[in-house]
A and B are shown apart, each in its own frame.
Chain A
Amino acid sequence: MSTLDAAIRLRLGDLDLDVALGADTGEAVAILGPNGAGKTTIVRALAGLVPIDGGCITLDGAVLDRPDSATFVPSERRPIGVVFQDYLLFPRMSARDNIAFGLRSRGIDKAAAHEQADAWLDRFGLAEHARSRPSALSGGQAQRVALARALATNPKLLLLDEPLAALDASTRVHVRAELRRHLTTFEGARILITHDPIDALILADRLVIVEDGRITQTGTAADITSRPATRYVADLVGINLLHGRLDGSTVHLADGGELTVAADDDVPRGDVALAIRPQAIALYAERPDGSPRNVWAATVADLEADRDRIRVRLSGPISLTAEVTATAAHTLDLRPGQQVWASIKAVDVSVYER
């Protein structure tokens, strides 16, 4: 049985949204799309922050919004938790009070709400930050408080709107792995909004691609990778996915070769998956100066022009696809069979447990 079943038709300014989506209990669905595609509006509609113009939203068989029958359950009575973009932690409350807020709003007395909030803080490794104001928390800590706050009310559906967008690149990898770990403990359905395919691949079981208010493709990562339906999707699935074993800060790749990564202690050593953006791989004619740790000699297997960018398939110790500008490809005089030096920064390799 589908937990969430939503057909959303909504016009808001320039946006003309018409999408149908669902999520089962325990399933994580990523809604992936470019900025302005209507992703946040989907979250707002599901959460009851904006009524839909047409369609129907049901959760566990209960109708939440259905203009046809003039049914609208307001936000405060929907069993839906939301982790907002920028987290929106209440700035004048401590981390504990933020988490206890939903419980207090449901009439649970202060002592009991604080006790439950403290249990969440413990579970998310935030015990020592119970009294901290949000402004004193790091991005990753703030995100955990936001997640705990959303989960504390025991929702049937969890919505995450760009949960990693507020973080800088160096903490993203770490927080993403952590978020994945915490999300697996949640038993309800999850809908994750993101514009970052790596977030979607790592955090979701199924992808829904939304472009310009319409769904252009749905499926598992494998489905979509094998048959990208649109240009946008084709760009997304260029991401390199590798497997290997993590040992210290080195990943021994399943197909040979190794990469140094910036995995922190939260990622268990052992089998891991790696995601690398083609744009993150730099190509050089000569061995680059300095000592970036991930430098290897590769052979250009194949070139594929894509407007002003060139996708370069590399063979050698590590098979990867890089992407460079046409200008750079011209300067490097890239052609099949040619040897180049490839490098990638450790922080550009996203590591997550398999």
Chain B
Amino acid sequence: MRRRRTRNRAPWVLLPLAAVGVAFIVLPLVALLQRTPWGDLGRLLGDPVVTDALRLSLVSALVATVLSLLVGVPLAWVLARTDFPGRAVVRALVTLPMVLPPVVGGAALLFAFGRRGLLGEPIYDGTGFLLPFSLWGVIAANTFVAMPFLVITVEAGLRSADERYEDAAATLGASRWTIFRRITVPNAMPAVLAGAVLCWARALGEFGATVTFAGNLQGRTQTMPLAVFLALESDRDAAIALSLVLIAVSLAVLIPLRDRWLR
């Protein structure tokens, strides 16, 4: 049945511009597909370089997202719900990794957690644990770069949530922790999930901070983006195959989630 629509009819100037926007994003992907060596794909994808990189990418992006949730949600709550001197500065600092070139972030991480780093040196001297050039280094780099996406999304969600539900919970005798756990977080869940998806997506594509802080060691720290970059120099077909895998994984996550939680 045809319905007459009156509200969501786009002003006509928007349509060609929107089409240019889509084309700009889709065209490079089409070009990539057009160059794909479909016949060789099976062999290329079975290569340990690819499987190692895929495993490292998925693990590090997932762990980085979990870590970001663990500290990012409380941080977002503090930024949204409390007032303290210097809050504006803290908010700016928290979003800095989004603006900073990731290479700079990676270098800064080295100065903090490297063997001679601010915190890295005492930790290494005490325990022998070294963060850089390990899987944990990859995770640290991913978290550093991706967590701000989660924090700003959740903070916005908390700010737009109706705080009167928390008042209602307080009058029912709920402690602050109970209110946070049973009211605040469930009410902000769409924002938390949206933030987690953005954070994961950013972590999956992370390159600069990872290569600087964790290096490019196949099977240890070489994630998909690093493998692609390396392969572009030596084996173009392998690079394309890797890229396809990255795109497929990203779309597999984004298509079901984008409409529901990233509005």
Whether A associates with B in a native complex is yes
Tell me the A residues contacting B by CB distance below 8 Å.
44, 47-49, 74-78, 80-82, 84, 86, 88, 90-92, 101-102, 105-106, 149-150, 153
Which residues on B sit within 8 Å (CB–CB) of A47?
167, 171
Which residues on B sit within 8 Å (CB–CB) of A105?
169, 172-175, 178
Which residues on A sit within 8 Å (CB–CB) of B167?
44, 47, 49, 75, 84, 88
- Establish whether residues B187 and A82, one from each chain, have CB atoms under 8 Å apart when the complex forms: no
- B9 sits at the interface (CB 8 A): no
Residue in A75, A90, A92, A106 whose CB lies within 8 Å of B171: A75
- Establish whether residues A90 and B173, one from each chain, have CB atoms under 8 Å apart when the complex forms: no
Residue in B164, B178, B189 whose CB lies within 8 Å of A88: B164
Q: Provide the bound-state CA to CA distance between A48 and B170, in Å.
A: 9
Q: What are 13 of the A-B contact pairs (CB < 8 Å)?
A: A47-B167, A47-B171, A76-B174, A77-B173, A80-B171, A90-B186, A92-B186, A101-B172, A101-B174, A102-B174, A105-B178, A150-B172, A153-B173
- Establish whether residues A91 and B187, one from each chain, have CB atoms under 8 Å apart when the complex forms: yes
Which residues on A sit within 8 Å (CB–CB) of B169?
90, 101, 105
- Establish whether residues B168 and A92, one from each chain, have CB atoms under 8 Å apart when the complex forms: no
- B165 sits at the interface (CB 8 A): yes
- Establish whether residues A49 and B174, one from each chain, have CB atoms under 8 Å apart when the complex forms: no
Q: Provide the bound-state CA to CA distance between A283 and B178, in Å.
A: 57
Interface residues of B in 146-186 (CB under 8 A from A): 162, 164-165, 167-175, 178, 182-183, 186
- Establish whether residues B173 and A49, one from each chain, have CB atoms under 8 Å apart when the complex forms: no
Which residues on B sit within 8 Å (CB–CB) of A88?
162, 164-165, 167-168
- Establish whether residues A84 and B170, one from each chain, have CB atoms under 8 Å apart when the complex forms: no
Q: Provide the bound-state CA to CA distance between A49 and B173, in Å.
A: 12
Q: Provide the bound-state CA to CA distance between A228 and B178, in Å.
A: 47
Q: Provide the bound-state CA to CA distance between A150 and B169, in Å.
A: 10
Which residues on B sit within 8 Å (CB–CB) of A81?
171-172
- Establish whether residues B175 and A90, one from each chain, have CB atoms under 8 Å apart when the complex forms: no
- Establish whether residues B186 and A102, one from each chain, have CB atoms under 8 Å apart when the complex forms: no
Residue in A86, A92, A102 whose CB lies within 8 Å of B173: A102
Q: Provide the bound-state CA to CA distance between A49 and B186, in Å.
A: 21
Which residues on B sit within 8 Å (CB–CB) of A86?
164
Q: Provide the bound-state CA to CA distance between A106 and B169, in Å.
A: 12
- Establish whether residues A82 and B171, one from each chain, have CB atoms under 8 Å apart when the complex forms: yes
- Establish whether residues A92 and B187, one from each chain, have CB atoms under 8 Å apart when the complex forms: yes
Which residues on A sit within 8 Å (CB–CB) of B178?
105
- Establish whether residues A75 and B165, one from each chain, have CB atoms under 8 Å apart when the complex forms: no
State how many angstroms separate the Cβ of B162 from the closest Cβ of chain A. Answer: 8
Residue in A44, A74, A77, A90 whose CB lies within 8 Å of B165: A90
State how many angstroms separate the Cβ of B158 from the closest Cβ of chain A. Answer: 16
Q: Provide the bound-state CA to CA distance between A91 and B187, in Å.
A: 8
Residue in B168, B182, B189 whose CB lies within 8 Å of A82: B168
CB within 8 Å for A76 and B187 given contacts A49-B167, A101-B169, A105-B169 = no
- Establish whether residues A76 and B164, one from each chain, have CB atoms under 8 Å apart when the complex forms: no
For A107, the closest partner residue in chain B by CB is B173
CB within 8 Å for A84 and B164 given contacts A92-B186, A92-B187 = yes
Which residues on B sit within 8 Å (CB–CB) of A153?
172-173
Q: Provide the bound-state CA to CA distance between A47 and B183, in Å.
A: 19
State how many angstroms separate the Cβ of B185 from the closest Cβ of chain A. Answer: 10
For A75, the closest partner residue in chain B by CB is B170
Q: Provide the bound-state CA to CA distance between A81 and B171, in Å.
A: 6
- Establish whether residues A76 and B173, one from each chain, have CB atoms under 8 Å apart when the complex forms: yes
